Amino acid sequence: MERNLDKHLDDTFRVPGVAGVICTDEHGLCLGAKGIATRESAGHIANIAESAARLNPNMPNPVISIEGEGGSILIKKEDNITMGIYKSPN
The pLDDT tens digits of the residues spanning 14-57 come to 999 999 999 999 999 999 999 999 999 999 999 999 999 999 88
Q: Per-residue pLDDT tens for 18-27?
A: 999 999 999 9
CATH number for position 48: 3.30.450.30
**Number of Cβ atoms within 10 Å of the Cβ of 23:** 24
User: Number of structural domains, the chain?
Assistant: 1
List the 18-24 sheet strands across, edge first: 30-35, 18-24, 81-87, 71-78, 63-68
Of the candidates 70, 88, 75, 80, the residue with the CA atom closest to the CA atom of residue 44 = 75
Residue 66 lies in domain: 2-87
